[in-house]
Structure 1
């Protein structure tokens, strides 16, 4: 029995991907699904990364934003985005009311991490409330803040960014009612802190991201194969639900319902739902998973070969090549301090000067699929947008999402939509794809 227990313990202690996949500019055509971590391994990995983020990201962003105290509030089953990202692998929800306080005492001293709640949070925050001594939780928080006398008290309120708008009216009223009047004028928006916390990717996260991306790419490769699609039989919606079932088998989550669309010669627009996939169709998929708290967002194209064909028509292959050129134009526009709106305008101008017909709608990715940070265009707005005014920062991950339109000669000059989306990392100098990008159409016999 001792030998069995020892073997089981060794199995639990060894991560399933001890040798992580490195970042690559080349995407594998039909990769295998990497080993999936157990629940315990996932929690241990998430906790390790969260501890690193709290130790390194929090001090950096508080000092960059000039904030010496940050107050976060969440309630059970009503966690605001920032607090939700700070819960350890065993605490899946806030308990009752959870109040977190970050305080930077200055002079190079460590940032205090306090929790004003009845429950600890995996040892990552120091408990700072004894209900037996002070039954009023809000008064306890106010006393902690008053003792530290901060110059600025940041709370998460923002009309523009949902990620930074976690403080509800009821909780704000309770807080300000007990806060000394001299401190109320020091309350400021924590918008910058919330965005920077969520958008920043750490080295440990980026060491994991290629494996997570490879997992998503492998599932897409399965979906775009004869394993799943029988031309003339399989419908678009059957492939959508196959994705969902496959993720259940793997123990993974989709952060949105997968999409499958069909473009067909002689048919305008995108066919979906109960439409049967036929030889000669150009297929499009949009698929994303959440794993180890990181998200993927990928769009690929596939061509269903007609009898006797060995490759897709030249016009379809050129259409994907055009979208790759738009991707290149966008990647060249990433620069620290440049706004999302400026990157959009520059990339569009370069692509149009090359004779392309682009639409760019890229966004940050990471702890959320449509992540915190400046947007670079929207599918329904190719001009400057308030959500794209903020600056691009280093150490951020991006979903390079866009399309280009082209007339396909083999389809009688029909205008076809060549959508592409791959995830990438910006280190402050260059943008690299996390697990490559699609440069050739997937072929389905």
Structure 2
């Protein structure tokens, strides 16, 4: 990890598919051995049941499939059982097909044709106190059990066991948001890949002022990722702010000298996601630097970042962190909007929200506590009046990926502190 971000860093080595699979399976094995016991004991749950149907995977199950299993097969049922007394957590698969060597196969369709009855037999034999299944009113990450499958499951249970069913929502969030040491070893390099690609996008290699349109840069990203064998988790965004024009100009708008460019770009690689927003200035003929007002605008956004990072505290809700950071920023005369989110297996990841661009006053999705050992997209903006643009209020958006260890927040591959400059010629 580094606090320094290079303007156009060299592209790291991108692994061939077979090597990627090896890394993915290595990380998954580590997570199953370490994260699962920790979160089940933390939540006081001794039995967790996950269910997915082919092409309709529970968000949690999808992250537990080995690298050669693209989807659940028919109906894939995973079981975690903690027998207590410090014994290892059992990992079972009640499925027609196995799942690498990560879960013990525990169903013979020939001996017991009814898959749900096989699950019920496992439960009866182990007699757990709590049976967690994934249902949630608040988050899709903990809502993977469908009504039809829940009915089939409970109909197979012996009398009295249905009363032991609890929500797996907290387990789902904790599994998805927790990062392991091995993941943290590779995550900065994944972010560096994204930064390198953005560095090329915001250069004369891609942009010719007066000729290149906003949407051409967006589709350049897509083509470049296809060349590299990488995947975006959303269509790249590019926009222009221009003196005398309101809002963000998009689509077929041609990039001109004097424009302030913005991009929002994210990739998925080795099952981890990035999310980055950077700014660039297109120099006018004869210019060698950006106007001072634009430079000051980015500096003010960096200050809001600082105030947000120092407001993080494990155990506080996302809403409380938001309120802390906004109060500090407003006291300094800044004009912030904060909308940061967890990141990891998903771009908009599991965990608490720290604001939304359309709600700066707290939200039910921000009631969950900030947890140590989690990764974040520090996403926000500060609006700044630029004297050189006649006092126009300009939106200085920024987003950088970071790690919260419980004491402090560190950027995975630095943050943008200087505008990228794109020369006129």
SS in structure 2 of the partner of residue 424 of structure 1:
strand
Match of 1:256 in 2: 234
User: Deviation digits for residues 99-150 of structure 1, max 9, x if unmatched?
Assistant: 0000000000000000000111111000000111101000000100111111
The structure 2 residue matched to 1:210, chosen from 185, 188, 212, is 188
Match of 2:40 in 1: 62
Give the superposed CA RMSD.
0.4
Q: Which residues of 2 match residues 374-389 of structure 1 at below 5 A?
A: 374-389=352-367
The structure 2 residue matched to 1:339, chosen from 292, 303, 317, is 317
The structure 1 residue matched to 2:138, chosen from 141, 156, 160, is 160
Match of 2:200 in 1: 222
Between the aligned partners of 1:313 and 1:440, the Cα distance in structure 2 is: 12
Q: Which residues of 2 match residues 39-438 of structure 1 at below 5 A?
A: 39-438=17-416
Report deviation, 1:255. Answer: 0.1
Between the aligned partners of 1:336 and 1:409, the Cα distance in structure 2 is: 40
Report deviation, 1:158. Answer: 0.2
SS in structure 2 of the partner of residue 269 of structure 1:
coil
Between the aligned partners of 2:275 and 2:238, the Cα distance in structure 1 is: 14
Between the aligned partners of 1:334 and 1:60, the Cα distance in structure 2 is: 23
SS in structure 2 of the partner of residue 383 of structure 1:
coil
Count how many residue pairs are aligned between Structure 1 and Structure 2: 423
The TM-score with structure 1 as length reference comes to 0.95
Report deviation, 1:333. Answer: 1.1
Between the aligned partners of 1:212 and 1:311, the Cα distance in structure 2 is: 30
Report deviation, 1:336. Answer: 1.0
Between the aligned partners of 2:298 and 2:149, the Cα distance in structure 1 is: 50
User: Deviation digits for residues 19-60 of structure 1, max 9, x if unmatched?
Assistant: xxxx10000111111111010000000000000000000000
Between the aligned partners of 1:384 and 1:32, the Cα distance in structure 2 is: 40
Match of 2:2 in 1: 24
Report deviation, 1:248. Answer: 0.4
Between the aligned partners of 2:99 and 2:361, the Cα distance in structure 1 is: 44
Between the aligned partners of 1:186 and 1:80, the Cα distance in structure 2 is: 21
Report deviation, 1:334. Answer: 1.0
Report deviation, 1:65. Answer: 0.3
Unaligned runs of 5+ in 2: none
User: Deviation digits for residues 284-325 of structure 1, max 9, x if unmatched?
Assistant: 000000000000000000000000100000000000000000
Between the aligned partners of 1:190 and 1:68, the Cα distance in structure 2 is: 11
Between the aligned partners of 1:220 and 1:122, the Cα distance in structure 2 is: 37
User: Deviation digits for residues 190-236 of structure 1, max 9, x if unmatched?
Assistant: 00000000000000000000110000000000000000000000000
SS in structure 2 of the partner of residue 113 of structure 1:
strand
User: Deviation digits for residues 366-395 of structure 1, max 9, x if unmatched?
Assistant: 000000000000000001100000111111
SS in structure 2 of the partner of residue 25 of structure 1:
coil
Unaligned runs of 5+ in 1: 1-22
The TM-score with structure 2 as length reference comes to 0.99
SS in structure 2 of the partner of residue 436 of structure 1:
coil
Between the aligned partners of 1:52 and 1:418, the Cα distance in structure 2 is: 40
